[in-house]
């Protein structure tokens, strides 16, 4: 089925990260930063699902690498958001755990495409 990617743990974790990030986007964060982190978290999800639907290993790998790069971008944006607000230690810990877990998952996917 073409929507099998929705059942994958990596997809679910990426959606969880997206939801967590959006819950932190308060009014006092500069709009360009809000827009950038929204785009980067969406990019993680979109690039994973696009890569999942590709047929060749090289195509899959390309999109998984792009998704992992967007994950790094999201982590950097979140670090900058911390300059503007304090979301609480629980949120920060959850964010860091999701980023670490997703990073490992994407590395595994990328390495499996050799």
pLDDT for 13 equals: 98
Nearest to 65 by CA among 16, 19, 21, 114: 114
Q: Which domains does the chain have, with CATH numbers?
A: 4-111 (1.20.1440.60)
C-alpha to C-alpha distance for 34 and 38, rounded to whole angstroms = 6
pLDDT digits (tens, 9 = 90+) for 67-80: 999 999 999 999 99
> Backbone phi, then psi, for 29, in 5-degree steps?
-90, 135
pLDDT of residue 1: 58
- How many CA atoms within 13 Å lie on the side-chain side of 86? 2
Sign of CA dihedral 7, 56, 108, 16: negative
């Amino acid at each position: 089925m073409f929507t099998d990617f929705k059942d994958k743990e990596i997809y679910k974790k990426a959606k969880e990260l997206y939801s967590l990030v959006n819950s932190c986007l308060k009014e006092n964060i500069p709009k360009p930063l809000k827009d950038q982190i929204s785009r980067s978290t969406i990019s993680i999800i979109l690039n994973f699902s696009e890569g999942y639907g590709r047929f060749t290993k090289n195509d899959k790998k390309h999109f998984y690498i792009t998704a992992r790069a967007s994950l790094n971008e999201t982590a950097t944006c979140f670090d900058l958001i911390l300059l503007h607000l304090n979301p609480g230690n629980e949120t920060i810990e959850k964010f860091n755990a999701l980023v670490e877990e997703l990073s490992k998952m994407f590395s595994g996917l990328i390495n499996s495409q050799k």
